[in-house]
Chain A
Amino acid sequence: MRLLSTRRRVYFLGTVLLLACLGSTSMADIPRPEIPKAKEMANPATKCVRPVEDMRKHHMQYLLHQRDETLRQGIRTERFQGESLKECIECHNAPDKYGKVARHDEPDHFCNACHRYVAVKIDCFDCHADKPANAVYRNPLADKKLSQQSGFDSEQLLNQLSLDGVAPKGDKQP
């Protein structure tokens, strides 16, 4: 009983402290990750292969899923080309205005921008190339109009992934 009440006291104190902090700092002071723009984003007609919210939440599941199928079964169809880490890097890690391409341990690298912010360490680039092989990039899915505008069903694929045990069941995009 005594323990419980101590814990409650701590919660109360914590809440008061949190409110005090929120009162003293405005939302604008909170640092946000500056995510570099992708090459294709410059053109509004050709968006990412998936909706942004979907990608932010599920990209790790898509990558894990396709990496095993590509390496072990050799599946490298257009759909998988559009989802592979290689394709992400080709489009997203674009050169800056000085023509410099960020390396994976630099804050302005597309992946690192967020992963630094949320303190999630990834080791993808210990092996994988962290910069695009080609300066000019065209999204193969966008070119063939297979992106989300023409009815790409990411929810269906998520369900399929949960069948395969890749994504948790019932985990739908927000």
Chain B
Amino acid sequence: MSDDQAINRDRRQFFGMTAAMASLAVAPGVFLSQVKSARAVATQAASDQNRWGMLIDTSKCASGCNDCVTACNKENGISGIHGTATDAQWIRKVTLRDKLTGYVQSLPLLCQHCENPPCVDVCPTGASMKRADGIVLVDKHICIGCRYCMMACPYKARSFIHEVLDEQKAVAPRGKGTVESCTMCVQRVDANRGEEDKTKHRDPACVEACNNNGHKAMWFGDLKDPNSEIVAELQKHGGQQLRPDLQLNTGVRYQGIN
């Protein structure tokens, strides 16, 4: 398994290099891209200087607590239609029980915002995509609802919308026939980028609720910013990936899973 992946990654790097060399060879292409980047707005696009991530301390996560899920549903307008197994879940609580010792722990599971997302690999239309700042999203304009991404995701983080929806939130368009998952509250992340006053920056709804309700089990921040709180915490106490064997380099890390 891991040998196959190593080969795969090399292949990708090779193709990437070939593409880069080809684009250098085409001089008119270089000129065109200069014309395009002259637009002032392009400077405000999400940048690969950031990588947004989360850290979750499962030892502080109480098994009965559902605050993050409730906050996510409220922010993004996710409500159960029939309370059935097909209702969308952007974040859900998972209980782990060690069969030998009987030790039970609870953790929130959401899109892990992988650096190498399998959902993006398998998408036949390009709807499943990763933004420059590491947030993995679905472009529902071109999603055909094939659900390959749902099968590819090792975390079962994505949901399919089976029925006509109504009363969607303006910040989170969602609809029948498309796949969706956690957006890391991209509307808040983008609002933060436009706001210079850092005290007005807002964490994703789940993190905000967890901290506001005094649990303080979740951190959100820029994994590429050495001064950020999340990086300090990661350096101090570490944070593990779920299924690190898959080498997806997830943007969501966990502490205290054993």
Residue positions of A touching B, CB distance < 8 A = 67-69, 71-77, 79-80, 86, 89, 126-129, 133, 160, 163-164
Contact = CB atoms under 8 A, between A and B. Distances in A.
A86 B164 CA distance: 20
B131 A72 contact: yes
A70 B140 CA distance: 13
B111 to A, nearest CB: 16
A160 B170 contact: no
Given A72-B129, A72-B139, A74-B186, A127 B46 contact: no
Contacts of A80: 41
B45 A127 contact: no
Interface string B42-85: 10111000000000000000000000000000000000000000
A88 B169 CA distance: 15
B176 A126 contact: yes
A133 B170 contact: yes
Contacts of A164: 36
Contact of B132 (A73, A77, A79, A86): A73
Nearest to B141: A67
Contacts, number: 64
Nearest to B194: A76
27 contacts: A68-B141, A69-B45, A71-B139, A72-B131, A73-B42, A74-B132, A74-B133, A74-B186, A74-B189, A74-B190, A77-B194, A79-B41, A126-B164, A126-B165, A126-B177, A127-B165, A127-B173, A127-B175, A128-B170, A129-B168, A129-B169, A129-B170, A133-B169, A133-B170, A160-B39, A163-B35, A164-B36
A146 B170 CA distance: 24
Which of B35, B36, B175 gathers the greatest number of chain A CB atoms within 10 Å? B175
A73 B168 contact: no
Interface string B172-191: 01111110000000100111
Contacts of B44: 75, 77
Nearest to A160: B39
A132 to B, nearest CB: 8
Interface string B118-161: 00000000000101110001011100000000000000000000
Contacts of B141: 67-68, 71
B9 interface: no
A76 B190 contact: yes
B193 interface: yes
Contacts of B189: 74
B164 A74 contact: no
Contacts of B35: 163
A150 to B, nearest CB: 16
A75 B175 contact: no
Which of B131, B165, B173, B193 is packed against the most chain A CB atoms within 10 Å? B173
Contacts of A79: 41
A86 B194 contact: no
Contacts of B168: 127-129
B131 A127 contact: no
A129 B77 CA distance: 11
Contacts of A68: 141
Nearest to B161: A127
The 9 closest A-B pairs by CB, nearest first: A127-B175, A74-B46, A73-B45, A127-B173, A126-B175, A129-B170, A128-B173, A133-B170, A76-B190
Contact of A77 (B41, B139, B169): B41
A127 B140 CA distance: 9
Nearest to B38: A160
B96 to A, nearest CB: 34
B127 to A, nearest CB: 10
Given A128-B168, A160-B39, A164-B36, A74 B173 contact: no
Contact of A74 (B39, B45, B139, B175): B45
Contacts of B173: 127-129
B40 to A, nearest CB: 8
